[in-house]
Amino acid sequence: MRSKEHVGNRYRQASERVDLCLEDQNGKEWCLDEHGGRWVILYFYPRDNTPGCTKEASDFSCHFDDFVESNASMVGVSPDSGASHPRFIGKHDLKLTLLSDPDHRVMKMFDVWKPKKLYGKEFMGVVRSTFIIDPEGRIIREWRRVKVKGHVEEVLSALRELQGARSAAGSNM
């Protein structure tokens, strides 16, 4: 039996590749399929320069070398404009790629653009979420409604565990 991961408005077989292309902080198109052979940590966050989002991005940046050593790229996605990301990166000395999804197309595909409530008002917004995508482009782990404290360490630990399991399975063949 194949495992399933919830992506978009349907369940996607874990063996099915995901694809996305969005503009990065340098105004260049960043496409997942151009990063084959690497693990990708794809995280969605509500907005640049807010306390929780800044803490999460800074935590990922602090562990940049650990993720690189694990053959993983870190990519953040928010609805912010491409002009906002370079300022956010510069202000906080971030070491990661940030993508803009102002029309929420990819956020909807990953089912992270949802109704939210704050002070009794309902609005649409990003549900903070993280996905580990394997070198073949498949989502193999996800976190929804992320709490920032300790999250990056949990993602790094899960990545290493998944890589170890894959390595052990490969050596048993």
Q: Which residues are catalytic?
A: 53
CA dihedral 8, 141, 68, 63 (to 10 degrees): 100
DSSP SS3 for 85: helix
CB-based contact 35:75 (threshold 8 Å): no
> Of 78, 66, 71, 73, nearest to 25 (Cα)?
78
Cα–Cα distance, 153 to 100 (Å, whole number): 25
Structure tokens at 164: 């170890």
